[in-house]
Copies of this chain bind each other. A is one copy, B any other.
Amino acid sequence: MKYSTLFGKTTKSAPHDAQSTNARLLTQAGFINQLMAGVYTYLPLGLRVLKKIQDIVRGEMNALGAQEIYMPALHPKDIYDTTGRWDKIDVLFKLEGHGEKEYALGSTHEEVVTPLVQQYIRSYKDLPMAVYQIQDKFRNEPRAKSGLLRGREFSMKDLYSFHTSEEDFLQFYERAKQAYLNVFRRCGLDAMIVEAGGGVFSKFSHEFQVATENGEDLVYRCACGFAQNREIAEVKAGDPCPSCQKGIIEEIKTIEVGNIFPLKTRFTDAFGFKVAGPNNEMMEVVMGCYGIGPSRVMGSIVEVHHDERGMIWPKQTAPFAVQLISLSSKDATLRENIEETCASLEKDLEASGVEVLWDDRDAGAGEKFADADLIGIPLRIVVSEKTLAEESVEWKERSETQSRFVKLADIIEEINEVTFLDRKTKTAHA
């Protein structure tokens, strides 16, 4: 795609309340645009990233055997009356429709998914089963100042699992942990599993936390794998590790990128959801819920992967694999040659499954390089008078400082050898 025609170019101005790195860089690079605090439009570059993250999440959920559904955001009040949460969820947006009917905007979907599954699942033979959705959630946050990390409207993947026993639930819970670690690894995030409190439902839950100096959470952890969040931590920095007895606890700043909860029978009991057992006795249904916010993951990637010049996208989440830059010449013939070389390169790269953003603007090298660094596409390929004289391009990885010349004739081969670029793959209707 030609950068000259892309909607959402780079801009020098950051949002006036952009206190967070992710909001500032994503805005300046033309990925997102703030409509109001905590509420953003995804511009073409940002939407490409968001969809890639959603597709990674979708793939791992499908591999887990969960089935994708899509539940509404608009909820009737009565389902919250059943669980007693109408006044307990403090971030619930409430509104009124015709006939004084009261609605809430979904901040979570236990009240919808539990009676939904109850309508179709009648026997222990149908369990375990799990459904998930990727959908927008709404939260009436008093403060929303962390860019994509804490929004009033945000993308969420919520998975719900249903089981006839605690043992079966725990087995699935461990598999879900692995699926979550896969998601974060594919998104370029090194997530750790952290023990957290269970809230009103359970004794424990787990968070997935990513270390970063701008993190708003604190985690106490040991090299052995022991990690507790601030709320439940029984240790402090410098303490001996209560788990391995050998290591020393360190305190690190983190961002939470996912969490998983045992819900026991909190919601199935409220809706009277039981299934028929082997001897036709009624069995309790044990439930778990598992959340990842794709938009929050997007913000977290930026918090972790950036430098003073801009973002550095991990390969599977980059909006494009290659940023092609043509530097114009004063000589008309050379100018045409540069143009044609770029057009042909773009075609060849796209044909071999490499997505290309071509900065074809009539602008100087300084501006184009600065914009490429800000946007953070993994590989920059420059075509100019100088490179053409060598029948080459200048090849520079965003994460490296050095560039090198690569012969035009060798580019496709070189591209096929690198491991830091993502390729378009067949995606089925999942």
Shortest Cβ distance from residue A112 to the other chain B in the assembled complex, whole angstroms: 6
- Asked whether, in the complex, the Cβ of A44 is within 8 Å of the Cβ of B72, the reply is no
Determine if A355 is an interface residue (Cβ-Cβ < 8 Å).
yes
Residue of chain B at shortest CB distance from A422: B429
Assuming the contacts A116-B33, A424-B428, A428-B424, asked whether A67 and B131 have C-beta atoms less than 8 A apart, the reply is no
Selected from B35, B112, B427, the residue in CB contact (under 8 A) with A427 is B427
- Asked whether, in the complex, the Cβ of A35 is within 8 Å of the Cβ of B97, the reply is no
Selected from B7, B69, B129, B426, the residue in CB contact (under 8 A) with A67 is B7
Within 8 A of B (CB), among A100-157: 103, 105, 112, 116-117, 119-120, 129, 131, 136, 138, 140-142, 152-153
Question: Which residues from B are CB-within-8-Å of A117?
Answer: 7
Question: Which residues from B are CB-within-8-Å of A33?
Answer: 116, 119
- Asked whether, in the complex, the Cβ of B95 is within 8 Å of the Cβ of A93, the reply is yes
Determine if A9 is an interface residue (Cβ-Cβ < 8 Å).
yes
Question: Which residues from B are CB-within-8-Å of A355?
Answer: 428-429
Question: Which residues from B are CB-within-8-Å of A41?
Answer: 69-72, 112, 116
Shortest Cβ distance from residue A127 to the other chain B in the assembled complex, whole angstroms: 11
Chain A interface SS verdict (over half): mixed
Question: Which residues from B are CB-within-8-Å of A138?
Answer: 73-74
A-B contacts, 14 listed (Cβ < 8 Å): A7-B131, A33-B119, A36-B74, A39-B72, A41-B69, A42-B70, A55-B429, A74-B152, A93-B95, A98-B141, A136-B136, A424-B426, A424-B428, A426-B427
Shortest Cβ distance from residue A125 to the other chain B in the assembled complex, whole angstroms: 9
- Asked whether, in the complex, the Cβ of A44 is within 8 Å of the Cβ of B73, the reply is no
Shortest Cβ distance from residue A101 to the other chain B in the assembled complex, whole angstroms: 8
Shortest Cβ distance from residue A23 to the other chain B in the assembled complex, whole angstroms: 15
Shortest Cβ distance from residue A395 to the other chain B in the assembled complex, whole angstroms: 24
| Copies of this chain in the oligomer | 2
- Asked whether, in the complex, the Cβ of B429 is within 8 Å of the Cβ of A52, the reply is yes
The docked-state distance in angstroms from the alpha carbon of A48 to that of B136 is: 18
Assuming the contacts A72-B39, A97-B93, A429-B52, asked whether A67 and B153 have C-beta atoms less than 8 A apart, the reply is no
Determine if A47 is an interface residue (Cβ-Cβ < 8 Å).
yes
Question: Which residues from B are CB-within-8-Å of A48?
Answer: 429
Assuming the contacts A52-B429, A67-B7, A120-B8, asked whether A36 and B93 have C-beta atoms less than 8 A apart, the reply is no
Q: A74-B153, A355-B428 are in contact. List 6 more A-B contacts (CB 8 A).
A: A7-B120, A36-B74, A44-B67, A51-B429, A74-B138, A95-B105
Counting contact residues on chain A (CB < 8 A from B), the size range is 35 or more
- Asked whether, in the complex, the Cβ of B153 is within 8 Å of the Cβ of A120, the reply is no
- Asked whether, in the complex, the Cβ of B47 is within 8 Å of the Cβ of A97, the reply is no
- Asked whether, in the complex, the Cβ of B6 is within 8 Å of the Cβ of A67, the reply is yes
Shortest Cβ distance from residue A68 to the other chain B in the assembled complex, whole angstroms: 6
Determine if A177 is an interface residue (Cβ-Cβ < 8 Å).
no
Within 8 A of B (CB), among A368-416: none
Most central of A11, A47, A51 by chain B CB within 10 Å: A47
Shortest Cβ distance from residue A382 to the other chain B in the assembled complex, whole angstroms: 24
Residue of chain B at shortest CB distance from A319: B429
Chain A, residues 42-80, CB within 8 Å of chain B (1/0): the string is 111001101110010000000000011111111110000
Residue of chain B at shortest CB distance from A143: B98
Determine if A40 is an interface residue (Cβ-Cβ < 8 Å).
yes
Question: Which residues from B are CB-within-8-Å of A105?
Answer: 95, 105
